[in-house]
Structure 1
């Protein structure tokens, strides 16, 4: 499936050479979920569409009682035919940012240069860092990486990106992109603040393969030098199974041609670039179940054995539906709404990768879902931006974790899509309006807390115990014992008649304590867009978010029956319940203070932004051989940095009376 997910652009040739401006973004100090907005000002922008779908009718009769027996040991799981997934990190769910909009998501809304970072974007990332115990994963790339070139001399005004041309006005148009080294400076500055770890996309278009005219080796070298250990890998090829369909290769180009070309470009990079890290590539990034070009077909060519010495990760990309409107034929979201509201969707999506994941693990490589969301080409109005997507993505992420993926990246486009986890306001309103938090963003918070900060969590899907597609359950084990549960209720029923009580036992074993703690992801309906909460905290309606959570954090304490050795947990329709089975698991969970430990934005007539200068100056800005202070647990490290060119220290200079803060520019 083609997924460009780009901002709306002109039909004419487009050259963006942004100039630095003294303008600042204005935020109200009272950032609550009740701020009003005028939707008439953004008519025609899909990301702010007000479509609300009708939830499916609740099943009848309603299921109100479900009993779950959770094996108290890994041996107990095995004896019942279950198998734990591989060990997971709390930052499992990250973000895939389309290269063509990276400056608008991450950089200053006017200057779009690495000196100015968007505080809301930093907050969205910090929320995950605070819960996962490590920095978030962010990929910059997508279809627009395939026709991109690094301009080493940069652009006027320190602009990061130039969009060279747009061949039409369709939603799926992909512009040609030029970018400057400033994009890596910007990424480095972000890492220095929130410990973000990056993937970046290399060009693999025809001219790149034939002439290396897009200086791919230099990109690889520059990215490694500037990002150090914060660079996790470089993607080579993006959805190659669709190259012939999209005229990126001539008809008859096959998986064998792909394998040959991949090796040619890899060899060219290694010959021309002085790379400290030789295991740096990511691929093959096939996406679309195309006969003859699926993951198993790529592996059958010997590609994995051929490339494994230089591979950082094995990656695939996939969207459950294609909404690109081929020949004007778009899907009706209402007709397929129910497909995202049951557990079958999550389980079916991982089946094509069973063999490939095993092969990757056998080769010593992790498998990543490198780009995904509800549907290609921007998703569906009323579905991709609803609470249904929140539940579905949390379920799908945990299913991937169970099936041995180790990360999944939610795609982020521009204002011409419905599925964004977060979106800045339209560029002509950045002085007065705030960001919009998409419903799917709440999934990242829920999954981060479900997997926790230990880097030792293993997931098992226990849903087959009850065979109820509307009420799946996962157990998370650490060191062979269950510590957390994730229970879902996909049914939308505000009457309460479809709420169910989950009665939990540990296979006859004593419960770890007399009571357990529960946090909920909730909304009044699966069709809800903005009135969504995680542990009672919300990020508000459209144009009201600065990336921080508001309201008091809520953790529900439930007294267990120590005689029966059971705990009864209400699971509301609709909701996801995260159950902490042990005192230790609850202590690991993010506290109320940590949950809001982000960067405050300010408004014009107040002194300076309230980011702590010490937090910036002792952040992860130095990537040489000496350890530095860190802004997140476990992030102060030097592993893998020996011999990598050290990036200069970050100078924490706050811009007075601005909602952005300045870091040192690398010129």
Structure 2
């Protein structure tokens, strides 16, 4: 990869939060402070939780040989009873950032971007051939208000904790959209943003949602893909957001009312911008099919950008103090059947969305709600599971899935910044599911023409699923999994691949592996031999040489033999063009250095205290999902006291349009 050395904090000039037609981008470097981290300072934080589960025993007898016949054309595939999924983009796996921690992940204000965050996104852009998908919202969007006048220091959000609640009340300024635009200008990110379903004409307070829609569209332009209206409405009654007896019919009526309220704004440039219904939790009478049965899709389709659902396979919120034992359920994340079962409830809804000309998105997901499980959500098992789940969703005609990102108090994050009082000493932590995003971006590739089919039924081995990815009617890549954890090598298998008796495209294939020593591994996880390191050691850039294995095929038998290690995922590039796409994209990668020294003066601002979950000016701790509050240390924000070595980089025009 080619690294363009940019400093650790990016400063983009603000011309105010009102009339802006263009902004000049300038950058400033801060001093790098070195030192060893002391885990005792953050006892209780998930990133220092040393919980390691016991891997399930390997099946006996071990399966060491499997074979697949991959139809050489789409017609041959269909004739055998298979069906390709819809065409996919390489940025299928994106990120859902909880609004309440957006300043921890992206930056405190539009001129102070978190460079590791940019690097994590840039890694995906280089592989997908297009910018990553990022949603800002979640439970905290439902208690949020836009403050048009903004806040001191151009802060993007302020948090207010109301007594007796878990999710903080969020006030945010137009500067959050400036920040999102600046991120897009660096890494071409495309955004979803969450509207509050509580601030509407059906409430007594003055409506604020139309202003949010107008501001977001004007500031983000084509980088704004849609605005989510309602977040997990099937839980509103359970979470005391609506009175008992509030039904799916009440929901669809309110949705329509708020939509009409927003559309009264004549300045909206895009009228097809809403996302919903975002139901999540298999509530009887309030599932996706129940919403569609009310006529909601026909009623809303003229203004819908996407149809969306949200789902976590398990609930770890500890209702009535009842928490699941991660060791007991660990095997659920280590077999293909669990993955296929997750998509079944959406078969009808996905077909309905496609018939209406809409894409279906899994708008928020991860291993388990309320922060996930120690030793499971942060293990290599989750890497394999998320990659398998993503491909299964692509096969079942979802067109995107967003991995949720919470604060310091969760185990499932794809990436986590250090506590704010340690930003001068520690780096970020890369979660196990982040590696899934790299593998899936290369599996689907940059062509925007990839179609996925699950060929696992050929062997019916729940520990060894296999997908084929077709481009323009012909197989281009294969993804083979081995969920078994066996350091002895006795459960490695060789996959013998043929293309339905057809000649192989060339004499060899190229293979990249997603690997770890065990499914229980937390940090020694590698994609194509590259890794992002251990807890609080990453700046978002991969290190070590990338490894692509070339395997000679048997041209007489017209087969290729692919080793699939226990545990691993093997990505097989069947054609020269497929591997060249991957190599070409990575050679164009630009990442941002965070090691500039002797420039600037780093100081700690004692007035900028916040908890690990981002509550400003409060010693309270908490999280964003009910039941997930955990202890975290008070933290402090690192600031810069001088501007030096300013480098004029580019003239940035937000969203290629004038911002009013």
The alignment's TM-score, normalised by the length of structure 2, stands at: 0.87
1:250 matches 2:256: no
8 Å contact from structure 1 (residues 489, 571) kept in 2: yes
SS at match of 1:75: helix
* Contact map agreement 2:124 2:131 (CA 8 A) in 1: yes
Q: Note closer, same or farther for the CA distance 1:417–1:23 as it changes in structure 2 (3 Å cut).
A: farther
1:495-644 to 2 correspondences below 5 Å:
495-590=488-583, 594=587, 597-605=590-598, 617=650, 621-624=653-656
Q: Which moved more, 1:206-215 or 1:366-375?
A: 206-215
In 2, distance between residues paired with 1:305 and 1:372?
26
Match of 2:16 in 1: none
What is the deviation of 1:26? 3.0
- Residues 377 and 23 of structure 1: CA distance in aligned 2, closer, same or farther (over 3 Å): farther
Partner residue in 2 for 1:26? 32
Deviation sequence 1:615-652 (CA, Å, 0-9, x none): x5267x4423xxxxxxxxxxxxxxxxxxxx5249xxxx
Tell me the secondary structure at the aligned position of residue 497 of structure 2: strand
Deviations 1:290-346, CA, capped at 9 Å, x for gaps: 000000000000000000000000000000000000011100000000000000111
The answer to whether the 8 A contact 1:135-1:196 is kept is yes
User: Deviations for 1:10-60, whole angstroms, at most 9, x for unmatched residues?
Assistant: xxxxxxxxxxxx9957366xxxxxx96432221011243211111000000
The reply to whether residue 325 of structure 1 matches residue 335 of structure 2 is no
The unaligned stretches of length 5 or more in structure 1 are: 1-21, 29-34, 625-644, 649-667
Q: 1:246 to 1:470 in 2, by over 3 A?
A: same
In the alignment, does 2:453 pair up with 1:467?
no
TM-score by length of 1: 0.86
Matches within 5 A, 1:185-224: 185-205=178-198, 209-211=202-204, 213-224=206-217
Q: Is 1:96 aligned with 2:96? A: yes
Counterpart among 154, 158, 173 of residue 154 in structure 2: 158
Is the deviation greater in 592-601 or in 431-440?
Answer: 592-601
* Structure 2 match to 1:3: none
In structure 2, the partner of 1:477 is 470
- Structure with higher strand content: 2
CA distance in 2, matches of 1:469, 1:451: 22
Match of 1:313 in 2: 306
Structure 2 partner of 1:134: 130
Q: Contact 1:518–1:580 at 8 Å: present in 2 too?
A: yes
Query: Is the Cα contact below 8 Å between 1:90 and 1:449 reproduced in 2?
Result: yes
Deviation, structure 1 residue 485? 0.2
Provide the C-alpha distance between the structure 1 equivalents of 2:402 and 2:261, rounded to a whole number of angstroms.
28
1:369-396 CA-partner distances (Å, limit 9, x unpaired): 0000000000000000000000000000
Q: Distance in 2 between matches of 1:89 and 1:330?
A: 37
Cα distance in structure 1, aligned partners of 2:29 and 2:242 = 44
The answer to whether the 8 A contact 1:27-1:434 is kept is no
- Which residues of structure 2 form unaligned runs of 5+? 1-27, 602-642
Distance 1:545 1:433 in 2: 9
In structure 2, distance between residues paired with 1:377 and 1:237? 19
The alignment partner of 1:272 has SS state of coil
Offset at residue 213 of structure 1 (A): 2.4
For 2:412 and 2:458, the matched residues in 1 are separated by 33
Q: Is the partner of 2:655 in helix, strand or coil? A: coil
Tell me how far 1:602 sits from its aligned partner: 2.0
**After the TM superposition, which segments of 4 or more aligned residues of structure 1 sit over 6 Å from their partners?**
607-614
Taking the aligned partners of 1:590 and 1:346, their CA distance within structure 2 comes to 30
- Of residues 207, 225, 234, the one that matches 1:232 is 225
Aligned counterparts of 1:343 and 1:137: Cα–Cα separation in 2? 26
Q: For residues 381-418 of structure 1, what are the alpha-carbon distances to aligned partners after superposition, in whole Å with 9 as ceiling and x for unaligned?
A: 00000000000000000000000000000000011000
Relative to structure 1, is the Cα distance of residues 381 and 92 closer, same or farther in structure 2, using a 3 angstrom cutoff? same
Give 1:92 shift: 0.2
SS in 2 for 1:454: coil
| Aligned pairs for 1:15-54 within 5 A | 24=30, 26=32, 37-54=37-54
Over the aligned positions, Cα root-mean-square deviation in angstroms equals: 2.1
- Counterpart in the other structure of 1:451: 444
Tell me the secondary structure at the aligned position of residue 617 of structure 1.
Answer: strand
Alignment partner of 2:269 out of 269, 276, 283:
276
Aligned counterpart, 1:437: 430
5 Å matches for 1:327-366? 327-366=320-359
**2:544 alignment partner, SS class:** coil
Residues 478, 574 of structure 2: 8 Å contact kept: yes
Q: 1:179 and 1:283, CA in 2 relative to 1: closer, same or farther beyond 3 A?
A: same
Structure 1 residue aligned with 2:10: none
1:180 paired residue number: 173
